[in-house]
């Protein structure tokens, strides 16, 4: 593979999905902050990546955004048969049903937006647990990390923000997913990515971001 560049922030959960694969397979891709192109909202960045979001990947003339497309480029789904499609379904459910509401965890939101968002997270978590229960675990990939497992960086956000600020028990009635989380935390690369996310969330805490939003501060301790 030609040498590439991934644009990513350490705290970004979607970028964490791609960073996992870069670390895990030691891919020749530099990880850079979008500020090097003027930031995600700059004309320079958006000329390359029109959504103004991360992750974004550049390899020669190829410019890609959307984590699932980048993951397809870097690592076509390793699973086969039913497991392949359940893994892709898990990733898709996360992107569509969680992704639309992710911002309610860390941006000012109305009560309605918050309620709808929390319902979407409950649906996403319940679906991930149900899909996992259709296969031998403990991981979506079985014994190895698979495509569906790459939703794990979002659980750093869930486990820090939802119990501390929304009285929301992330793994309630989701025994398979609770076991999955134990298996995720036992994997060295997952732990590396989760620590990057935890450090980013702690920086937000230290800067008073959550105390402004929620009126209190918490210590990041999910990993």
| Residues at the contact surface with ligand GSH, assessed by CB under 6 A | 12-14, 40, 53-55, 66-68, 95, 99
Is 44 exposed, middle or buried, given 0-12, 13-18 or 19+ CB atoms closer than 10 A?
A: exposed
Nearer to ligand GSH, 55 or 156 (CB): 55
Least separation in angstroms between residue 173's CB and ligand GSH is 27
Nearer to ligand GSH, 16 or 138 (CB): 16
Least separation in angstroms between residue 118's CB and ligand GSH is 18
Nearer to ligand GSH, 29 or 135 (CB): 29
CB contact at 8 A, 21 and 74 = yes
CB contact at 8 A, 171 and 178 = yes
Least separation in angstroms between residue 223's CB and ligand GSH is 18
Nearer to ligand GSH, 55 or 117 (CB): 55
Nearer to ligand GSH, 69 or 172 (CB): 69
CA torsion sign, 41 to 30 to 26 to 3? positive
Least separation in angstroms between residue 78's CB and ligand GSH is 19
Least separation in angstroms between residue 54's CB and ligand GSH is 4
Q: For residue 93, give the 3-state DSSP assignment.
A: helix
Strands (E), the chain: 4-7, 29-32, 56-59, 62-65
> Which CA distances in Å does 25 have to 29, 36, 188?
11, 25, 13
Residue 203's contacts (CB-CB under 8 Å, 6 or more residues apart) are: 11
């Amino acid at each position: 593979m030609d040498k590439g560049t991934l644009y990513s922030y350490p705290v970004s959960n979607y970028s964490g999905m791609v960073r996992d694969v870069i670390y895990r397979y030691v891919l020749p891709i530099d990880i850079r902050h979008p500020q090097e192109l003027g930031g995600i909202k700059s004309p320079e960045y958006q000329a390359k990546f029109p959504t103004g979001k991360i992750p974004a990947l550049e390899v020669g003339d190829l410019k890609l955004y959307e984590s699932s497309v980048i993951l397809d480029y870097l690592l076509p789904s390793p699973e086969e048969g039913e497991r392949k499609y359940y893994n892709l379904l898990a990733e898709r459910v996360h992107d569509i049903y969680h992704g639309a509401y992710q911002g309610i965890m860390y941006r000012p939101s109305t009560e309605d937006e918050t309620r709808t968002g929390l319902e979407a997270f409950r649906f996403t978590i319940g679906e991930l647990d149900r899909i996992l229960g259709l296969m031998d675990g403990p991981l979506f990939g079985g014994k190895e990390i698979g495509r569906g497992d790459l939703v794990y960086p979002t659980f750093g956000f869930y486990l820090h923000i939802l119990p501390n600020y929304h009285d929301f028990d992330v793994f309630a009635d989701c025994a398979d997913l609770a076991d999955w989380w134990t298996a995720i935390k036992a994997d060295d690369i997952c732990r590396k990515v989760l620590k990057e996310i935890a450090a980013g969330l702690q920086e937000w805490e230290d800067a008073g971001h959550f105390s402004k939003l929620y009126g209190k501060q918490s210590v990041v301790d999910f990993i």
